[in-house]
Copies of this chain bind each other. A is one copy, B any other.
Amino acid sequence: MQTVLSDDQVQFKHVVHRFFDTHSTTTAVRALAETETGFDPLVWSQLSETLGLTGTHLPEQYGGHGFGPVELGIIQEEMGRTLYCGPFFSSAVMAGYALERFADEAAKTERLPQIADGSIRATLVLDDLNHPSQVGRLIAADQAGALTGSAPIVLDGCSAEVFFIVAREDSGLGLYALAAKAPGAEVSAQDSIDMTRKVARVTLQEAAGTRIGSVTPQSLNRFWDLTSVALAHEMIGGASRLLDETVEYTKGRYQFGRPIGSFQALKHRCADLLMNLEFAKAATQHAGFCLAASDQETIYPSMAKAMAADCFMEMARAAIQLRGGIGFTWENDTHLWFKRAKCDEVLLGAPYRHRARMMDILQETQDVA
């Protein structure tokens, strides 16, 4: 199994880094946060068509580039660093992986290429975002494929063109496709703490979905692992950026005749933050390598999600605290990451749920290494 990024992957990271550094400045992020759809179509077409990022992790036979969770993690990390605003996670990651893992062959062949090249923006409608075992409690499909129920949190629900919906069936769960504007589907924007990622409630009343696949517990768990690790990378990116900028701030800010970064309390806090970050980053990278290497279930994806979330949240808290009052203002950028941290923390399950999940897997497999 891989231990560190290959030279090619490092190269790729530089390319992606430059792109988001240029196109996802905090000025752009602040502007997009104020819009309804929350993304810039031009940047979207550049990253999907020109750079092909949306297809990175999807199989070549369905229009993707055939790379895996590691390369996707690189993209997510850079997006988290710059708080990229756009439907990448909802469409390419959530909907893309759902199709790849749950859809039948025909649906994949028809629909994955559109996700992979970004020409269609889809999103996944999951009625629970806390734990895979709770999915399907709120949305049900009848035998004709009519979907009824509601999902309170759907990423980019207002701007997506297509919904893929996981719904409870007589036995088990099925995957359904539905045009966003289809009769019986009602979409209402929800206010989120994190203005840089839009969410909506999707309510379905006998909406005529097309059944395109089955969701098994195994495939749902695998999906959960893949998306959790992608999200963990986003959090690591955000946390790294915050640490860099916070340390810089303490070097330049003077109080009591000295830079505040020379006060031992701040130095030690930053040292602890770096240790947490290094550990969470190692865990997250390793989870990506594991997913890339094998389909076997391990503790690492949940471990990565739990550690990255705790790390990002702790980092965001510290980033505000170490700035003092200015860190609590709207004008200062720190809160943008703080709010992303808070939402990422609970999206796909809060840390304590992932720790519980780790222990379940650990007991099943009894094999940590």
Interface residues of A (CB under 8 A from B): 263-265, 268
Q: Which residues of B contact A263 (CB under 8 A)?
A: 264
Instruction: Name A's interface SS.
Output: helix
Instruction: Report the separation of the CA atoms of residues A264 and B263 in the bound assembly, to the nearest whole angstrom.
Output: 7
Q: Which residues of B contact A268 (CB under 8 A)?
A: 265
Instruction: Report the separation of the CA atoms of residues A263 and B265 in the bound assembly, to the nearest whole angstrom.
Output: 9
| A238 to B: closest C-beta gap in Å | 27
Instruction: Report the separation of the CA atoms of residues A268 and B264 in the bound assembly, to the nearest whole angstrom.
Output: 10
| A287 to B: closest C-beta gap in Å | 29
**For the complex of A and B, 5 pairs with smallest distance between CB atoms:** A264-B264, A264-B265, A265-B268, A263-B264, A265-B265
Instruction: Report the separation of the CA atoms of residues A264 and B264 in the bound assembly, to the nearest whole angstrom.
Output: 6
Q: Which residues of B contact A265 (CB under 8 A)?
A: 264-265, 268
- 5 A-B contacts, Cβ less than 8 Å apart? A263-B264, A264-B264, A264-B265, A265-B265, A265-B268
Instruction: Report the separation of the CA atoms of residues A246 and B270 in the bound assembly, to the nearest whole angstrom.
Output: 26
Instruction: Report the separation of the CA atoms of residues A268 and B268 in the bound assembly, to the nearest whole angstrom.
Output: 11
| A322 to B: closest C-beta gap in Å | 14
Instruction: Report the separation of the CA atoms of residues A265 and B264 in the bound assembly, to the nearest whole angstrom.
Output: 6
Instruction: Report the separation of the CA atoms of residues A22 and B263 in the bound assembly, to the nearest whole angstrom.
Output: 43
Instruction: Report the separation of the CA atoms of residues A268 and B269 in the bound assembly, to the nearest whole angstrom.
Output: 11
Q: Which residues of B contact A264 (CB under 8 A)?
A: 263-265
| A228 to B: closest C-beta gap in Å | 27
Instruction: Report the separation of the CA atoms of residues A234 and B107 in the bound assembly, to the nearest whole angstrom.
Output: 69
Instruction: Report the separation of the CA atoms of residues A268 and B265 in the bound assembly, to the nearest whole angstrom.
Output: 7
| A326 to B: closest C-beta gap in Å | 22
Instruction: Report the separation of the CA atoms of residues A268 and B266 in the bound assembly, to the nearest whole angstrom.
Output: 11
Instruction: Report the separation of the CA atoms of residues A263 and B264 in the bound assembly, to the nearest whole angstrom.
Output: 7
Name A263's closest neighbour in chain B (CB-CB).
Answer: B264
Instruction: Report the separation of the CA atoms of residues A268 and B263 in the bound assembly, to the nearest whole angstrom.
Output: 11
| A321 to B: closest C-beta gap in Å | 13
| A84 to B: closest C-beta gap in Å | 37
| A261 to B: closest C-beta gap in Å | 12
Instruction: Report the separation of the CA atoms of residues A360 and B134 in the bound assembly, to the nearest whole angstrom.
Output: 26
Name A262's closest neighbour in chain B (CB-CB).
Answer: B264
| A276 to B: closest C-beta gap in Å | 17
| A258 to B: closest C-beta gap in Å | 12
| A269 to B: closest C-beta gap in Å | 9
| A317 to B: closest C-beta gap in Å | 16
